Amino acid sequence: MTGAPRDKAAQALTEEEAAAELEALAGEIAAHDRAYYQDDAPVITDAAYDALRRRNETIEARFPHLKRDDSPSARVGAPAAGGFAKVTHGRPMLSLANAFDEADVRDFVDGVRRFLKELRDDPDLPLEFVAEPKIDGLSVSLRYEGGRFVQGATRGDGTVGEDVTTNLRTLKDVPDTIFGNDVPAVVEVRGEVYMTRPDFAALNARQAEAGGKVFANPRNAAAGSLRQLDSTITAARPLRFFAYAWGEVSAPFGNTYWGVLHLLRGWDFEINPLARLCRDVDHCLRFYRDTEAMRARLPYDIDGVVYKVNRLDWQERLGQVSRAPRWAVAHKFPAEQAQTVLHRITVQVGRTGALTPVAELEPVTVGGVVVSRATLHNEDEIARKDVREGDTVVVQRAGDVIPQVVSVVLDRRQPDSRPFVFPDLCPECDSLAVREEGEAARRCTGGLVCPAQAVERLKHFVSRDAFDIEGLGGKHVEAFRRDGLIGTPADIFRLADHAQGIREREGWGDKSVDNLLAAVEAKRSIGLDRFIYALGIRQVGQATARLLARQYGSLPAWRRAMTEAADPDSDAYRDLVNIDGVGPSVAADLIAFFAEDHNLGVLDDLDGQLTVADYAAPTAADSPVTGKTVVFTGTLETLTRNEAKARAEALGAKVAGSVSSKTDYVVVGADAGSKARKAADLGVKTLSEQEWLELIG
């Protein structure tokens, strides 16, 4: 893991520190997503996981131009695992933003009021919420057509889930048919599959007696029970279902969220009986305190409370940002700390060469999860906390960073302890490790000469969000590189030349080799956005790669533009930094990547092995602004700036921060200034707010 000082407030981070930490968080959270959503075996608590995401979102809010394309804030869950057919959700199954204290909740409510103009202009206009306990279970979607249950799916990564229809039919809380004149022709009912604590205890007792798997907690038991290939096993498990949302619907069926909940109950779905209609934020917070007080007495696990804007027309206008809706937030319960012994400090080398110290701990249970390792972030944090090998330390899995060493228990320090000396040589290749001015991380200067960096880049190249080559995991990449089978990304597509040698390796057989080679062949064609992300360019995650692909359209156009952008006075450079979400820092890393002959050689080599498909942006039906570049300037009368931008992007437009000759429309509000004048000088079409609203319908 690479990282910056996570105890350090986001406002105090330098840009380099922020970029390094966002990179570390992206990888860390992705690993936890796979453990939770695919393996049903999380290695950290929900509070710990939430804290990681919160830290990521806080840094992104401070440095929006550093947001990575693989940012956790743009991702929900993890890709669907093998063994089940895949289901593409008609509408994405979103996750929720988190609040950890009353101030966060009030900030959320203030944000809703700022976004919707009528609420911003009239502080007395009522803003109601529905508050519900946040069930700790497995999210699913149930599709009904003509009132009959036809398909059920897990959330998966929010876009594609697993088809578990047969298993869901075994749940008594899932009606096979729903009745009534108010049932739409098509409706997806969404909710949570869970297991009560008494049922969980009884199941584990039966499992132990039969010599079967004993589950760690009710959530794992529910997820493992639902995702059985044999539905008779699911049928024998005591699973329950609470309905609390909907996805695709053929026609509107309510005006308020509270009304729809009662409609779902009329269709014979179970809704949480503790749900309450709250007239304001203070009412919401009282509900939270009451729910927290009764938490231990509830028959099922909850990890917080969810607040949702009650009016559905406001929900629609608020829309979503990345993976989460703007109209809802999860107010989480606090987590725990524990003490343990730090045996030694090891230093890992990441894909970009950053050296990250890791605390190797005496295993300790924190919040029901066994912790044996924790990040120490960087040398400054070790010095600031004076962390030493042999110390007794406080480990926390909540707050700003999880897992983290919070502090040292000084009165238990051994008399012969010595301060930790951070290495100035790479532990993997002995190259000089330097710390650039303004950076928190010390970095190996070995580049691809460093085996750790080289292998981490190859792992990134084949990872799920990049080329996603099934059967070529991290251990295989390490072994193949160590033995000379692969050295560069393009070598992966020449593995067929080593087929016989691979068959002779321990653990490989004819079928596994054939499957691997077939998986490699299947990835010879890839979309431009995934290709850009797979290259592992610093600060270029999934979101940024998608922005670049959308802006330039094809691999040749992108390569040409990045080369031309090396001239800071060029139109190519101005176009690059004008992309909303890129900026000078990311541009510098892109330009630096294309300035290295080695990287150009890698691109040329890959070009001979692959077909990189031009980017096809998602289109909004009947949208006259799809693909157009729009700039907003001045004060808008009927929309807030954020709502205007969100609506434009939802219709397929690109929103830019400044006007250029490539701008299609400049929407001019009151008191418009230099942008309107520049549009006139360049001959760019300007629209009043009313003309813009008429254009987009």
Residues catalogued as catalytic: 134
Q: Is 512 exposed, middle or buried (0-12, 13-18, 19+ CB in 10 A)?
A: middle
Rounded Cα–Cα distance for residues 285 and 443 (Å): 46
Could you give the C-alpha distances from 263 to 178, 255, 507, in angstroms and in order? Answer: 11, 11, 55
Cβ atoms within 10 Å of 112's Cβ, excluding its own: 21
User: Phi and psi (nearest 5°) for 433?
Assistant: -105, 115
CB burial readout 552-575, b (16+ within 10 A) else e: bbebeebbebbebbeeeeeebbeb
Rounded Cα–Cα distance for residues 144 and 1 (Å): 44
Two structure tokens written together for 208:
């132990």
Cβ atoms within 10 Å of 624's Cβ, excluding its own: 12
Say whether 461 sits in a helix, a strand or coil. helix
Closest to 220 in 3D by CA, of 33, 40, 369: 40
Beta bridge partners of 305: 133, 331
- Contact predicate 342/371, CB 8 Å: no
Rounded Cα–Cα distance for residues 646 and 175 (Å): 37
Two structure tokens written together for 522:
């299947």
Beta bridge partners of 329: 97, 307
Q: Cα(first)–Cα(last) distance of the chain, in Å?
A: 47
Two structure tokens written together for 638:
């009927």
Rounded Cα–Cα distance for residues 294 and 292 (Å): 6
Cα 338 to the chain's mean position, in Å?
28
Rounded Cα–Cα distance for residues 389 and 358 (Å): 11
Rounded Cα–Cα distance for residues 615 and 359 (Å): 43
